């Protein structure tokens, strides 16, 4: 996917954290409600190497940055669904 493409091309990755969207448009709903969504642009990541391991590392770095910007409950809910 995107991480592998960055590694193969040397393109920098711009992680973005979006919070508040689930309150406005809960899963399974078709109509958005009113509310605030926060978009946070995080530090750009520089890919290295060019193999699968580097893409996996880039993915981990991006996810760690994004998780640090989200409310703790959102991160816990996300992690529990992947167990």
Handedness of CA 23, 26, 31, 37 (dihedral sign): positive
Over pLDDT 90: what percentage of the chain? 59
**Residue 2 structure tokens:** 């995107």
Angle, helices 2-9 vs 52-69, to 10°: value is 120
Contact present, 4 and 63 (Cβ < 8 Å): no
End-to-end CA distance of the chain, in Å?
22
Contact present, 64 and 13 (Cβ < 8 Å): no
Average predicted confidence (pLDDT) for the chain: 86
29-42 confidence digits (pLDDT tens):
999 899 999 999 99
């Amino acid at each position: 996917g995107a991480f592998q493409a960055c590694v193969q091309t040397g393109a920098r990755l711009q992680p973005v954290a979006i919070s508040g969207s689930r309150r406005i448009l809960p899963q399974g709903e078709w109509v958005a409600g009113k509310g605030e969504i926060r978009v946070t642009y995080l530090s750009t990541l520089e890919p290295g190497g060019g193999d699968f391991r580097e893409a996996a590392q880039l993915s981990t770095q991006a996810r760690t940055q994004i998780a640090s910007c989200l409310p703790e409950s959102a991160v816990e809910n996300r992690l529990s669904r992947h167990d």
